[in-house]
Amino acid sequence: MKCYGGGSGRKWFPLLAVFALMCMAVSFSVRVFGANDVSSEIAEAEGKVREAYAAVLDVESLGVNASGLVHTMNRAVHALGDANSAFRAGDYENASLLADLCVGFADDVSAEAGNLKKDAESRPSGLFMTAALSSVGVSVLFVLALFGWRFVKNRYVKHVLKMKPEGVVSG
Amino acid sequence: MISLGDLKFLYAASCVFLGLIILAPTLAMVVSFPGGEKFSELWILGSGHLIEGYPFNVSADNVYSAHLGIGNHMGGLEYYLVYVKLRNQTESAPDSLNATPSGLAPLFEYRAFVFDGDVWEREVSFSLGGVSFEGGLCRVSSLVVDDSAFSVDKVAVWDQVNNGFYLQLFFELWRFDTTVSGFEYHGRFVWNWLNVTRSL
């Protein structure tokens, strides 16, 4: 009596195992875009944009030109706005991708703002430099004014002494 | 001839004037003068960036466009949000007097950071889909804004005064308030009435 079943099973086992492994790999790699997951991704993106905005305002208050940062911020919020719109339209996959894109831009802005803040803080502030120059200028002016007054006064006195008396004819 | 006392006064005044000129840059950085009125602008323009050529008679599956703009005069960098909403004649509109937004859910949205004294502008394209007419009613089941399709179930009743089925596409301006860390309605909205017609 021949038994075909057992031999055939052993033959197909490696192929089935490989197929099962592939299925597992695919199931891990494919993201399921549920409304709740995407909603929290968008909320995270909103939070990142708020952080980046606070960082930009912080850097701006130090007198740093933040136009480059704001350009990237606009790319972030453009993606965020589109993510929200896609979410409302029920396009969760696109919404998720756009939210991720927004997070990337916002993180870039936060990092760049941090660097700019460090640079700005390591340099003397514009106000300090201006105040120092003004102080030096006023001090120099004060000294020059004292000497200048002696010069002006001497010239005035010489001028007065050189004057000839004039007679006044009374009516 | 000027007296010595007058000369002294003139000299001292000149020195004070020069001193103020030297101190001016520092004073300008320290002293803040009251600015003008702080406000934001929101506008919608028709084709060619003019206050004409707005989409008015619209029919199903045709794409129309307008130009949406924001102007910032708030004195600093601002974060704006514009909600795009669609309503029929009976649904709630934003209240200009109380500065409250419409209770309708937004469909599309635009966000932008705008520097003080700067403007932001975008072309908005839209189309209506699933338009059907039945007696004195017009039903619109979808709105596409900038390639994003939204399910809307809007019913417009025949307007006997203005002869048409009217829907209003409107845009609300919201501003990010850093003190509350959230968006607040900024009391500005613009709209475009649409007369939904049968496709030719």
Domain ranges of chain B: 1-33, 39-197
For residue A139, give its domain range: 125-164
Mean pLDDT of the region B151-161: 95
Residue A50, phi then psi, degrees to nearest 5: -60, -45
A68 in a domain, yes or no? Answer: yes
Q: Inform me whether the C-beta atom of residue B97 falls under 8 Å from chain A C-beta atoms.
A: no
Residues A26 and A86 in one domain: no
pLDDT attached to residue A4: 44
The answer to whether position A115 is within a domain reads yes
In chain A, the number of structural domains is 3
Q: Are residues A44 and A99 in the same domain?
A: yes
CA distances from B92 to A87, B74, B111, B136, B170 (A): 23, 29, 23, 21, 11
In a domain, A89, yes or no: yes
A110 and A144 housed in the same domain: no
Assigned domain for A14 exists: yes
CATH topology of domain B39-197: Immunoglobulin-like (2.60.40)
Reported as a single tens digit per residue, the pLDDT across A51-96 is 999 999 999 988 888 999 999 999 999 999 999 999 999 999 999 9
Tell me if B22 and A141 make a contact (CB, 8 A cut-off). yes
Closest Cβ–Cβ partner in A60, A91, A127 for B77: A60
Higher pLDDT, B2 or B103: B103
d(C-alpha A9, C-alpha A30), whole Å: 30
Q: How far apart are CA A62 and CA A80, in angstroms?
A: 28
State chain B's mean pLDDT as an integer.
Answer: 94
Same domain, A131 and A107: no
Mean pLDDT of B177-189: 95
- Which helix (H) or strand (E) segment is B119 a member of? strand B119-134
Per residue in A94-145, pLDDT (tens digit) is: 999 999 999 999 999 999 999 999 988 887 777 788 888 989 999 999 999 9
CB pair distance less than 8 Å for A66 and B77: yes
Predicted local distance difference test score (pLDDT) of residue B167: 97
Q: Tell me if A38 is assigned to some domain.
A: yes
Q: Is the dihedral of CA A135, A138, A140, A143 positive or negative?
A: negative
Q: For residue B102, is pLDDT > 90?
A: yes
Among chain A, residues having any CB pair with chain B shorter than 8 Å are: 50, 53-54, 56-57, 60, 66-67, 70, 73-74, 77-78, 80-82, 84-86, 88-91, 126-127, 130-131, 133-134, 137-138, 141, 145, 148-149, 152-153, 156, 160, 163
Q: Is residue A78 part of a domain?
A: yes
Say if residue A144 is in the same domain as residue A62. Answer: no
A146 and A67 part of one domain = no
Q: Whole-model pTM?
A: 0.77
Give A146 or A166, the one with higher predicted confidence.
Answer: A146
* Interface check B155 vs A, CB under 8 A: no
